[in-house]
């Protein structure tokens, strides 16, 4: 029997890619860079050394095309999870800054890129940098990299206002990019060229955008709702994760079948699942978390193999100009948006830097240019400049995001802390009320709009809190009030912090106005943490004048969150692990 080895077996090649990516990621991680940078570098190196290894491994840049469906699934999973981050109730306090950021991305970034490429790039390569080419490259420049961004955030264990804004924004930014690209492509396909043709080609371009989003929403939302119906009637809890995987596959495939964006469809699917049945999203993430490393390591190594780094040398000047223009546009748009939104300074200064990564959506848009007959005249220039700049962005972008998170003071914060339940959407500023009952009713109503609610019905919880308040006032010294209830059921503590800079006359024993009302709902199983929160708040507010004044006069929920979760507030919001360690030491001494 003849036995011979066939090197072009896809699963064998995928194994090689995975092992190479894992090794490359680990080596790069040891020098303090994000692992995703190592995976991408490994892919680029494999492609560069292709002549030396392809005869043995069978792995070539052409062979990578056989993994397109795998790449599509991972892109769909990324889009689904990022869409799932858009839980509207949780983003109640972030709506203004997200809207302003999207406006900046839709206006400032493409404007800066078009002006830079048309006027400066036009001098460098007048035949290549036409207005049409600049317009398409500007639309592609808007796109971010949700997968890379989420991966860097997870690796950095980041948590805070910048992190929350960034993760919520990346999916929406990609939707903006797809919308503007669809408009620009349709505008040029319908004979538009230059600003003067907008009145003739503009309406049909807008119709094309509406069609793209409409079909994507129809397929994505339909897939999600159908699956949720199955989970309520047929599918048991053990198969929630696999069912959501089917949603990702169905949304992507269905959208592509209708000629719409698979990325948009999966994003809409994630949004619908998150806002209709949020616990299902958590089950899906838990289901795929164990193999997340496999998915991402292979995906980004393969993505690196798609990028020919030699393209940078052929158009180095235009690539550098495009990279710089995109960065300036991103930074300027984010800085202006956050300045208007009035966010903390560190968020305003570093959000733009964290938006540098450029990923899968940009690659998809470039491939659409290659496939469109109407855009064939610009295909070579867009591919060369777009992909080469993308390669640079993928190499330096993750490190830029990591640096931004670090400078904003949000790395290493994703560990259990005493006040984790007081995230931004559990804080309300400018509360009002002429009596304790009015104030408590208002905070209870707001608490029940969040995703982490007490285990009892709203009216029952309100009565328990009011009865406890009638027995003995929870107004403490220095303007602090902590109404609370201990519940028989439930798994975790939750609550709502209300702040009034003017102060409320609620009959506090010391005669002072109340500036902060901390409403707590605690299950009996978490009673120890309940007592720790009471003690920590009471001690910090009465002893730390600086913290008290900052908190009482916080301009927004984001500012209040920053005050409570800053490194300087570790006495009031300490790591639970540290508390357990201290308790263990104390027990040993006894």
Reply yes or no on whether the pLDDT at 529 is more than 80.
no
Residues 136-153 have a mean pLDDT of 86
Q: What is the band of 137 on the pLDDT scale with cuts at 50, 70, 90?
A: very high
More confident position, 62 or 404: 404
Q: Looking at the domain assignment, is residue 412 inside a domain?
A: no
Q: Are both 234 and 245 inside the same structural domain?
A: yes
Q: Are both 112 and 59 inside the same structural domain?
A: no
Interval 459-498: pLDDT, tens: 998 999 998 888 888 888 788 888 888 888 777 788 888 9
| DSSP characters over 353-398 | HHT----HHHHHHHHHHHH-GGGGGGHHHHHHHHHHHHHHHHHHHH
Reply yes or no on whether the pLDDT at 71 is more than 70.
yes
Q: Are both 196 and 208 inside the same structural domain?
A: yes
Query: Distance between CA atoms of 149 and 577, rounded to whole angstroms?
Result: 27
Query: Distance between CA atoms of 351 and 420, rounded to whole angstroms?
Result: 22
Least confident of 138-142, 157-161, 426-430: 157-161
Q: Looking at the domain assignment, is residue 417 inside a domain?
A: no
Query: Distance between CA atoms of 477 and 163, rounded to whole angstroms?
Result: 34
Q: Are both 542 and 557 inside the same structural domain?
A: yes
Q: Looking at the domain assignment, is residue 51 inside a domain?
A: yes
Q: Are both 396 and 543 inside the same structural domain?
A: no
Q: What is the band of 403 on the pLDDT scale with cuts at 50, 70, 90?
A: very high
Residues 524-530 have a mean pLDDT of 76
Residues 43-51 have a mean pLDDT of 81
Reply yes or no on whether the pLDDT at 238 is more than 50.
yes
Q: Looking at the domain assignment, is residue 262 inside a domain?
A: yes
Q: Are both 399 and 490 inside the same structural domain?
A: no
Q: Are both 360 and 391 inside the same structural domain?
A: yes
Q: Looking at the domain assignment, is residue 415 inside a domain?
A: no
Interval 318-345: pLDDT, tens: 989 999 999 999 999 999 999 998 888 8
Helices (H) and strands (E) in the chain, counts: 25, 5
CB-based contacts of 336-341 (< 8 A; 24+ apart in sequence): 336/104, 336/108, 337/97, 337/100, 337/101, 337/103, 337/104, 338/97, 338/100, 338/101, 340/100, 341/96, 341/97, 341/100, 341/101
Reply yes or no on whether the pLDDT at 130 is more than 90.
no
Q: Which of 65, 82, 108 is the last residue of a domain?
A: 65
Mean residue pLDDT of the chain comes to 80
Residues 5-20 have a mean pLDDT of 79
Q: What is the band of 552 on the pLDDT scale with cuts at 50, 70, 90?
A: confident
Residues 215-219 have a mean pLDDT of 91
More confident position, 557 or 313: 557
Interval 176-213: pLDDT, tens: 888 888 778 777 776 655 544 445 555 666 777 778 78
Q: Which of 65, 85, 101 is the last residue of a domain?
A: 65
Q: Are both 395 and 496 inside the same structural domain?
A: no
Reply yes or no on whether the pLDDT at 274 is more than 70.
yes
- The confidence score (pLDDT) of residue 193 equals 54
The number of distinct structural domains making up the chain is: 3
More confident position, 56 or 177: 177
What's the CATH code of the domain at 521?
Answer: 3.40.930.10
Query: Distance between CA atoms of 149 and 87, rounded to whole angstroms?
Result: 18
Q: Are both 342 and 253 inside the same structural domain?
A: yes
More confident position, 455 or 136: 136
Residues 389-396 have a mean pLDDT of 79
| DSSP characters over 426-490 | GEEES---SSHHHHHHHHHHHHTTSSS--SS-HHHHHHHHHHHHHHS--B-STTEE--EEEESS-
pTM of the predicted model as reported, rounded to 2 decimal places: 0.66
Q: Looking at the domain assignment, is residue 3 inside a domain?
A: no
- The confidence score (pLDDT) of residue 360 equals 67
Q: What is the band of 142 on the pLDDT scale with cuts at 50, 70, 90?
A: very high
More confident position, 463 or 577: 463
Those residues with Cβ within 8 angstroms of residue 528's Cβ, 6 or more apart along the chain or in another chain: none
Q: Are both 149 and 55 inside the same structural domain?
A: no
| DSSP characters over 278-293 | HHHHHHHHHHHHTTHH
Reply yes or no on whether the pLDDT at 279 is more than 60.
yes
Q: Looking at the domain assignment, is residue 50 inside a domain?
A: yes
Residues 378-385 have a mean pLDDT of 83
Least confident of 287-291, 335-339, 505-509: 287-291
User: Percentage of the chain with pLDDT > 90?
Assistant: 17
Q: What is the band of 417 on the pLDDT scale with cuts at 50, 70, 90?
A: low
Interval 555-574: pLDDT, tens: 888 788 777 776 555 555 54
Q: Are both 270 and 348 inside the same structural domain?
A: yes
- The confidence score (pLDDT) of residue 114 equals 94
Least confident of 248-257, 501-510, 552-561: 552-561
Interval 72-119: pLDDT, tens: 888 888 778 777 777 776 666 667 888 899 999 999 999 999 999 999
- The confidence score (pLDDT) of residue 253 equals 93
Q: Which of 65, 81, 109 is the last residue of a domain?
A: 65
Q: Looking at the domain assignment, is residue 2 inside a domain?
A: no
- The confidence score (pLDDT) of residue 328 equals 95
- The confidence score (pLDDT) of residue 456 equals 86
Q: Are both 57 and 199 inside the same structural domain?
A: no
Range of the domain at 462: 424-589
What's the CATH code of the domain at 200?
Answer: 1.20.1530.20
């Amino acid at each position: 029997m003849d036995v011979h080895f066939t090197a072009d077996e896809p699963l064998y090649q995928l194994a090689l890619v995975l092992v190479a990516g894992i090794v490359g990621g680990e080596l790069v991680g040891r020098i303090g860079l994000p692992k995703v940078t190592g995976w991408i570098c490994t892919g680029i190196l494999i492609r560069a050394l292709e002549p030396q290894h392809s005869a043995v491994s069978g792995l070539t840049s052409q062979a990578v095309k056989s993994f397109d469906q795998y790449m599509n699934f991972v892109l769909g999973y990324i889009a689904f999870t990022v869409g799932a981050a858009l839980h509207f109730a949780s983003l109640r306090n972030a709506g203004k800054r997200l809207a302003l950021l999207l406006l900046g991305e839709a206006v400032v970034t493409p404007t800066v890129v078009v002006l830079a490429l048309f006027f400066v790039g036009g001098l460098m390569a007048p035949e290549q940098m036409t207005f049409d080419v600049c317009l398409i490259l500007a639309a592609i420049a808007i796109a971010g990299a949700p997968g890379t961004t989420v991966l860097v955030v997870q690796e950095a264990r980041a948590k805070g206002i910048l992190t929350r804004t960034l993760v919520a924004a990346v999916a929406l930014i990609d939707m903006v990019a797809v919308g503007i690209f669809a408009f620009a492509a349709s505008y040029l396909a319908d004979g538009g060229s230059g600003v003067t043709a907008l009145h003739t080609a503009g309406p049909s371009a807008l119709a094309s955008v509406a069609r793209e989003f409409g079909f994507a929403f129809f397929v994505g939302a339909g897939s999600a709702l159908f699956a949720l119906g199955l989970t309520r009637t047929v599918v048991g809890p053990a198969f929630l994760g696999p069912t959501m995987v089917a949603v990702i596959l169905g949304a992507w495939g269905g959208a592509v079948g209708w000629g719409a964006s698979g990325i948009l469809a999966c994003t809409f699917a994630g949004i619908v699942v998150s806002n209709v049945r949020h616990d299902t999203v958590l089950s899906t993430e838990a289901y795929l978390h164990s193999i997340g490393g496999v998915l991402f390591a292979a995906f980004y190594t393969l993505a690196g193999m798609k990028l020919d780094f030699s393209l940078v040398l052929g158009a180095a000047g235009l690539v550098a100009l495009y990279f710089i223009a995109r960065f300036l546009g991103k930074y300027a748009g984010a800085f202006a948006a956050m300045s208007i939104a009035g966010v903390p300074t560190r968020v305003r200064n570093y959000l733009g830097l964290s938006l540098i990564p450029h990923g899968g959506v940009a690659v998809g848009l470039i491939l659409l240019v290659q496939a469109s007959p109407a855009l064939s005249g610009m295909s070579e220039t867009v591919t060369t400049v777009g992909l080469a700049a993308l390669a640079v962005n993928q190499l330096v972008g993750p490190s830029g995001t990591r640096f931004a998170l670090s400078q904003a003071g949000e790395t290493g914060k994703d560990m259990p802390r005493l006040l984790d339940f007081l995230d931004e959407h559990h804080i309300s500023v400018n509360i009002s009320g002429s009596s304790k009952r009015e104030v408590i009713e208002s905070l209870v109503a707001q608490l029940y709009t969040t995703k982490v609610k007490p285990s009892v019905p709203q009216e029952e919880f309100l009565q328990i809190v009011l009865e406890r308040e009638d027995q003995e006032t929870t107004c403490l010294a220095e303007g602090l009030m902590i109404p609370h209830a201990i519940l028989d059921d439930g798994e975790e503590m939750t609550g709502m912090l209300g702040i009034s800079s003017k102060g409320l006359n609620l009959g506090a024993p010391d005669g002072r106005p109340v500036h902060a009302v901390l409403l707590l709902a605690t299950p009996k199983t978490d009673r120890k943490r309940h007592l720790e929160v009471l003690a920590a708040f009471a001690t910090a507010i009465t002893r730390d004048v600086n913290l008290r004044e900052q908190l009482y006069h916080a301009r927004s929920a984001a500012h209040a969150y920053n005050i409570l979760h800053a490194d300087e507030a570790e006495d009031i919001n300490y790591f639970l692990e540290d508390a357990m360690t201290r308790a263990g030491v104390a027990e040993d001494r006894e």
